[in-house]
């Protein structure tokens, strides 16, 4: 007998998200923009407010009880994130503002120290601007060259094209774990094997991976992994850069300031050990504690249950959207190759008009280029409408979306 797929009680999860219980334009709100930012459950909000109510003080400096407690909460949150990512050591976890800052940190420090004219950095045409522009900046400074892996007609990376691009000139590949625009899950362990075979490093933009897919940085065998708190039920303005310890130790600091130094002398200074070398200034302690609470919240639901539920939701959404005439969904067809992020076009209607009418129906979606202009150009569309789901979404939400798309069709008939 095959084992039943684990699932969880979505109704109970929804009760943790009071923000979802509201009407927009006279209709029960349907929130389908979690790829832009997820909502936050009560335990995360309560953890943040409890921190400010009982434990708040600056960290690492104080010799008094409250500061010790704040420091302990901050470092415990780091341990939680290390275990969430299955990092080999908590010192491999650097607190940053989000995935954007994590990638900028690596591009600016590792890139400046390691890239020379003619060296190559491989990106993909699925990347979010956060995983393109930092590399453009460092390429302009160092003379390195950027290459882009192409996709197939379902928005999957073409590994045969990656093989053509990889060479002795490749120093690093920077690749999203999951596409924010198409929902494609990329085969990171397979990509790591190919990238390492030419002696290059692999940075993974996990902004959309960590919220949906179990992340095991050791099994993925990547070298850097960037995570954003606000996409995984945590607060905005906090994130994590995981990096291999020997790489982090060899990299120069990112920003200078308090906390990141060992000795400050008039002309030069020495650095604190990793990860503090990369954490200049007062960190977002409450944000870190809140992000750890979010990681615990997701872990309690369980990744297997989340994935099983999401697969069911994808199948339902594909049927619902497939029944609306004129809708074309981009990205992988096989649910196993994607998350519940659906970029689509509705024939003859601009995505901004689609989103405006959906808003009038109480449905929140995104329309535009989704910070993926290279991808939009590749798809030969100016923009798409994107409906992105998370743990609190139900099949009903996609039925509401499909019905509202019929309204759009009527308006533009």
Residue ranges that bind ligand PMP, judged by CB under 6 A: 98-100, 128, 130-131, 176, 180, 205, 207-208, 228, 239, 371
Cβ 128 to ligand PMP shortest distance, Å: 4
A 10 A CB-CB count for 268 gives: 7
Q: Which two tokens stand for residue 44?
A: 């995360």
| SS3 call for 325 | coil
Helix (H, G, I), strand (E, B) or coil at 293: helix
Complex with ligand PMP: residue 71 or 388, whichever CB lies closer: 388
Cβ-closest position to ligand PMP: 98
- Least separation in angstroms between residue 183's CB and ligand PMP is 11
Crossing angle, helix 395-411 and helix 351-360, to 10 degrees? 110
Is 125 among the residues known to form the active site? no
- What is d(CA 188, CA 162) in angstroms, rounded to the nearest whole number? 12
- For residue 9, give the nearest of 273, 238, 309, 383 by alpha carbon: 309
The C-alpha atoms of residue 79 and residue 291 are separated, in whole angstroms, by 12
**CA separation for the pair 172, 164 (Å, rounded):** 15
- How many Å separate Cα 12 from the centre of its chain? 25
Our CB check for ligand PMP shows the closer of 70 and 210 to be: 210
Q: What stretch of H or E contains 181? A: none
- The pair phi, psi for residue 140, each rounded to 5°, is -65, -35
The nearest distance, CB 382 to ligand PMP, in angstroms, is 19
Q: Which is nearer to ligand PMP, 232 or 408 (CB)?
A: 232
How many CB atoms within 10 Å of residue 84? 25
Q: Which is nearer to ligand PMP, 128 or 409 (CB)?
A: 128
Q: Out of 125, 175, 233, 371, which one is annotated catalytic? A: 371
User: Minimal distance in Å, beta carbon 372 to ligand PMP?
Assistant: 8
C-beta of 277 vs 369, nearer to ligand PMP: 369
Q: Which is nearer to ligand PMP, 207 or 391 (CB)?
A: 207
Interatomic CA distance for residues 19 and 14, integer angstroms = 9
The enclosing H or E element of 170 equals: strand 170-176
Q: Which residues of 213-230 are buried (b: 16+ CB within 10 A; e: fewer)?
A: bbbebeebbbbbbbbbbb
**Rounded least distance, CB 269 to ligand PMP, Å:** 29
* Cβ atoms of 289 and 73 closer than 8 Å: yes
Closest distance of CB 121 from ligand PMP, Å: 16
Active-site residue numbers? Answer: 371
């Amino acid at each position: 007998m095959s084992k039943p797929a684990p699932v969880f009680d979505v109704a109970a999860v929804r009760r943790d998200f009071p923000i979802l219980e509201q009407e927009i334009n006279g209709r029960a709100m349907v929130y389908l923009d979690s790829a832009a930012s997820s909502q936050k459950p009560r335990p995360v909000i309560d953890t943040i407010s409890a921190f400010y109510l009982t434990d708040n003080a600056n960290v690492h400096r104080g010799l008094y009880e409250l500061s010790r407690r704040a420091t302990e909460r901050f470092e415990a949150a780091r341990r939680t994130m290390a275990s969430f990512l299955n990092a080999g050591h908590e010192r491999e976890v650097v607190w940053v503002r989000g995935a954007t800052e994590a990638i900028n940190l690596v591009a600016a420090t590792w890139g400046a120290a390691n890239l020379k004219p003619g060296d190559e950095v491989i990106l993909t045409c699925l990347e979010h601007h956060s995983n393109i522009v930092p590399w453009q900046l460092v390429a302009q400074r160092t003379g390195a060259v950027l290459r882009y892996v192409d996709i197939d007609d379902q928005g999957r990376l073409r590994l045969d094209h990656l093989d053509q691009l990889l060479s002795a000139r490749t120093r690093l590949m920077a690749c999203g774990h999951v596409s924010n625009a198409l929902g494609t899950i990329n085969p990171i362990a397979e990509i790591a094997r190919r990238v390492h075979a030419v002696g290059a490093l692999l940075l993974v933009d996990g902004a959309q991976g960590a919220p949906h897919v179990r992340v095991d940085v050791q099994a993925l065998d990547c070298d850097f992994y960037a995570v954003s708190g606000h996409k995984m039920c945590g607060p905005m303005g906090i994130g994590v850069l995981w990096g291999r310890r020997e790489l982090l130790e060899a990299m120069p600091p990112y920003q200078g300031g308090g906390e990141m130094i060992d000795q400050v002398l008039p002309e030069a200074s020495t650095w604190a050990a990793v990860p503090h070398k990369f954490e200049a200034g007062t960190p977002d302690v409450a944000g870190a504690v809140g992000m750890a609470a979010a990681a615990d919240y997701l872990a309690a639901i369980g990744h297997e249950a989340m994935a099983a539920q999401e697969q069911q939701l994808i199948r339902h959404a594909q049927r619902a959207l497939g029944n609306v005439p004129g809708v074309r969904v981009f990205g992988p067809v096989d649910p196993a190759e994607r998350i519940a992020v659906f970029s689509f076009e509705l024939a003859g209607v601009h995505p901004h008009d689609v989103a405006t009418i959906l808003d009038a129906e109480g449905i929140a979606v995104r329309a535009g280029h989704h910070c993926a202009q290279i991808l939009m150009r590749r798809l030969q569309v100016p923009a798409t409408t994107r409906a992105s789901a998370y743990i609190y979404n139900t099949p009903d939400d996609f039925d509401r979306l499909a019905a509202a798309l019929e309204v759009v069709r009527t308006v533009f008939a």
